[in-house]
Amino acid sequence: MMDTVLITGGTGLVGQALTTFLLEKGYKVIILTRKKLRSDDPHLQYALWDPSRKLLDTTALQQADHIIHLAGANVADKRWTTSRKKEIADSRIQSARLLFERLRDTPNKVRKVISASATGYYGAFNGDVFTETDPPARDYLGNTCKDWEDSIRQMETLGKHVVILRTGLVLSLKGGVIREFYQPLRLGFATIMGGGEQWVSWIHLQDLVRIYYAAIVNDQMQGAYNAVAPHPVTNKDLVLSLARIAKGKSFVTMHVPAFVLQVAVGEMSVEVLKSVKVSSEKIRQTGFQFSYPEVEEALEQILSAARKK
């Protein structure tokens, strides 16, 4: 019998791709979601929870061999008002605490707890590429990632094996930032954010899914890993590569000045303008090989897959 993997927030961008991958490998997948959903696939099941009300279907927990914690209010969807910032943090941290309490109080066979975290853990690039031993930044995202990771590490006290993936910007046309850049490109505009010199530590969605899988099957993996491709690029290179692949030469380059971004998206603009440069050395040391180490190949694949649809 193949293992059962319980994925919190498995309905999102990463969760959907991971679910497809695991089902193809023969795993059973249970998605923990706030929505009432039904599956026609006997290997895929949905179970209900509502972390804000401390509700969780513990029968799902009892079936699981591994838990993957992806749930969390989207960081880029809405303006960072005070209440949204609280929701972003709570949806990750309170939900992890709920998982902890239920695992503590319910007999279960869960061996591994694998969780998303983000490169926002480290803060802005200051001349040294960040590695996993660097401390968290003392800003909103740094504090949030630290508390999120701490709430997951608590599972170690229950004898669970913990892996945390500090994820970079996920490249996929199905969602996330590339879709945002792609909209103006349809009209012929390549929109560079601010000066465009800021570093972006990115990862192709398929590589990220393969790292989650590695965390399930490779028992040597433990603790935090940066989930980013080996070659970060500047915002300008990312936007112009995408424009060239999608449009050849027929596009106009536009800079969106920092103050316009600030007005348009508020405090989140800091994140778009921040330089993020993070090392992939530790995950490569585990033997993991990236299918898309270079941004051009990653974007070519994403756009050609989109064209075939």
Ligand X SMILES: NC(=O)c1ccc[n+]([C@@H]2O[C@H](COP(=O)([O-])OP(=O)(O)OC[C@H]3O[C@@H](n4cnc5c(N)ncnc54)[C@H](OP(=O)(O)O)[C@@H]3O)[C@@H](O)[C@H]2O)c1
Chain center to CA of 104: 26
Q: Which of residues 36-55 bind ligand X (CB under 6 A)?
A: 51
Q: Name the residue nearer to ligand X (CB basis): 91 or 198.
A: 91
Take residue 134 and report the two structure tokens written for it: 């660097």
**Cβ distance 23 to 44 under 8 Å?**
yes
232 makes contact with ligand X (CB under 6 A)? no
Question: Of 67-75, 211-219, 234-242, 264-272, which segment contacts ligand X by CB under 6 A?
Answer: 67-75
**Cβ distance 164 to 149 under 8 Å?**
yes
Per-residue HEC secondary structure of 111-143 comes to CEEEEEEEHHHCCCCCCCCECCCCCCCCCHHHH
Report the C-alpha dihedral over residues 25, 227, 76, 141, rounded to 10 degrees: 140
Q: Which of residues 84-143 bind ligand X (CB under 6 A)?
A: 87, 91, 95, 116, 118
144 makes contact with ligand X (CB under 6 A)? no
Helix (H, G, I), strand (E, B) or coil at 160: coil
Q: Name the residue nearer to ligand X (CB basis): 123 or 176.
A: 176
* CB of 74 vs ligand X, minimal distance in Å: 4
269 makes contact with ligand X (CB under 6 A)? no
Q: How far is CA 209 from CA 23, 55, 205, 206, 303, in A?
A: 12, 28, 6, 5, 18
Angstrom distance (rounded) from CA 238 to CA 269: 17
33 makes contact with ligand X (CB under 6 A)? yes
- From candidates 4, 7, 11, 209, binder to ligand X by CB under 6 A: 11
Angstrom distance (rounded) from CA 203 to CA 186: 23
198 makes contact with ligand X (CB under 6 A)? no
145 makes contact with ligand X (CB under 6 A)? no
Angstrom distance (rounded) from CA 204 to CA 170: 6
14 makes contact with ligand X (CB under 6 A)? yes
Q: Read off the DSSP letter of residue 111.
A: -
- From candidates 98, 99, 141, 170, binder to ligand X by CB under 6 A: 170
Q: Name the residue nearer to ligand X (CB basis): 110 or 145.
A: 145
Q: Name the residue nearer to ligand X (CB basis): 80 or 251.
A: 80
- From candidates 5, 6, 7, 15, binder to ligand X by CB under 6 A: 15
**Cβ distance 5 to 68 under 8 Å?**
yes
Which amino acid is it at 167? T
* CB of 188 vs ligand X, minimal distance in Å: 26
Residues that bind ligand X (CB under 6 A): 9, 11-15, 33-35, 51, 70-75, 87, 91, 95, 116, 118, 167, 169-170, 176
